[in-house]
Structures are given as C-alpha cells and as structure tokens.
Amino acid sequence: MNSSLSFGQNAAMNTSRSTIVQLCALLLFASMSIPDNSLGAEGQPGSVKVQGILGQAQLLKVDGGTVPLGPGMVLRAGDVIQSSKGSAVDLHLGETPGTLRLTENTTVVLDKLTAGTAGTAGSFDVELSVRAGEVLGLAKAVPQGSRFEIKVANGIAQILEGRFRIDAQARCVLVEGKVLLAHVPQAGEPSAHALQAPPAVFFAPGLGVQPAPKDLAREIVNQMRSKLPRR
C-alpha cells in the first residue's frame, strides 16, 4: 500500500499535466454534440459512503489523517482511498451515479462532490481521479444539469449512463450505456471518443474504440456481480 507521503509527491508532480489534460478534454467535449451536464452553480457539499469492503484499504483524509477504511464510513471531497493487494472497495456515490468498485491496488481521489443547487433539485457533480489501478461502475442516466466525471493521467471520461470499467491508463470497457472519453497522449493530438453499448465496446490508447470480445464483457459483469462484506 502506498504511503500518504508518496501519494503527495506523485500528486504534486502530476498537477501541471492534469491541468493540461482537463483543459484539452473540456475543449474536446465542447466540440461534440452532447448535452450540457455541467452544474450552473455550486451546490451543497456532497458525500460518498463506503458500502462494502473485502480485505484492507486505507483512507487518506482531506485534513491529513490516515485511517483504515471500513464499511459505513462517510467520505468527503478531497479524501483519498487506497485499496490493498487482494482487496476491493464499494463506494456508494448516490442514487444516479450508483456504485463504484475499486479493485486491488487502486488509488482514487474524490476531487469534487456536490449535490443540489437552487433550481436544479436532485442535481449533482461527482468528479473522481483514478491515480492507480482500475474502477468499475454502474450508473443510471445522468440528467441535465449534473455531471459524473472520472479523470486519469492521460484523459477524462464523462459517464452518461451504464456499466463500465476504466483504469489509470484510460483503457475503458463499456458493457451498456454511454461514455464520452477525451484522450490526451504524451505525444500526438488529443482525441475525443464516444462509446455506446450494447454491443459492448472498449477504448485503448493507440487502438481507439473497438468491439469488445464477449469474454471481456462477461468479465466486467462478473467483477461487479459479487457483493462485498458490509461489516
């Protein structure tokens, strides 16, 4: 498991790169014919609940403390979750963004969590960064005025709906639903990709969007099928 010190050093080194990726992604998303799912105003602070955990994980709190992660814990924006080898964590993001599962050796930063604004009842803004490992999710259709976004070092995925898996290298598998993905390679031009399923599809840097083999789609479904211990 990585220490909070090593995470902090890595985060500092990635700050400028992450800013460039985000700006490029925003420009790419703006160039596509998609609904405006960005919140028009700041909402109330939101939260995430640890729904289940298998094995061990730790929470690097936004105030600097480090504690073991456990079921039922409530997390806030700025918190960092790190799962250990052979472990998994389920986070309940809300009724619409649904459940996010961290597989082993995964680090996720809760960048932004807001819920509800004047004139946009039920809206939300959930923004996460996957710094290592991979996450799986199952989300309902994200309504107008809301946003569900997952950032990686070389891209940003805007989740619009569905069952998906995405890792820290921007490899994304979509079994059902719709995901918009902006990829910003170390060398070369940024590119935008719209993934829609069924049938299942996947994106990989250098390959673009491709049909997903049946065994890969089945693997995603099976990964999400088991329930993690809640106590």
Residue 119 is part of a domain; what is its CATH number? 2.60.120.1440
Domain around 39: 4-225
172 inside domain: yes
Number of domains making up the chain: 1
The CA-atom distances, in angstroms, between 25 and each of 35, 162, 205 are 15, 21, 15
Its pTM surpasses 0.85? no
Instruction: Answer yes or no: is 33 within a domain.
Output: yes
What is the torsion angle, in degrees rounded to the nearest 10, for the CA atoms of residue 188, residue 189, residue 193 and residue 199?
-30
pLDDT for 27-64, tens place per residue?
Answer: 555 555 555 555 444 668 888 999 999 999 999 987 77
Strand 120-132 vs strand 147-152: parallel, antiparallel, or unpaired? Answer: parallel
Q: Do the Cβ atoms of 186 and 99 come closer than 8 Å?
A: no
Residue 221 lies in a domain: yes
Indicate the length of the chain as a whole number: 231
| pLDDT score recorded for residue 27 | 52
Q: In this structure, is residue 230 part of a structural domain?
A: no
The verdict on residue 191 lying in a domain is yes
Position 8 in a domain: yes
Alpha helices in the chain (DSSP H): 4-30, 214-225
User: In the chain, which stretches have pLDDT less than 70?
Assistant: 1-43, 116-122, 231
Spell out where 55-171 has E strands: 57-60, 66-68, 74-75, 80-83, 88-94, 98-102, 107-117, 120-132, 134-139, 147-152, 155-167
- Whole-number Å distance between alpha carbons of 27 and 159: 17
Quick: pLDDT tens for 2-30.
Answer: 444 344 545 444 555 555 556 555 555 55
Separation of alpha carbons 174 and 203, rounded Å: 9
Q: Please report whether residue 127 resides in a domain.
A: yes
The answer to whether position 231 is within a domain reads no
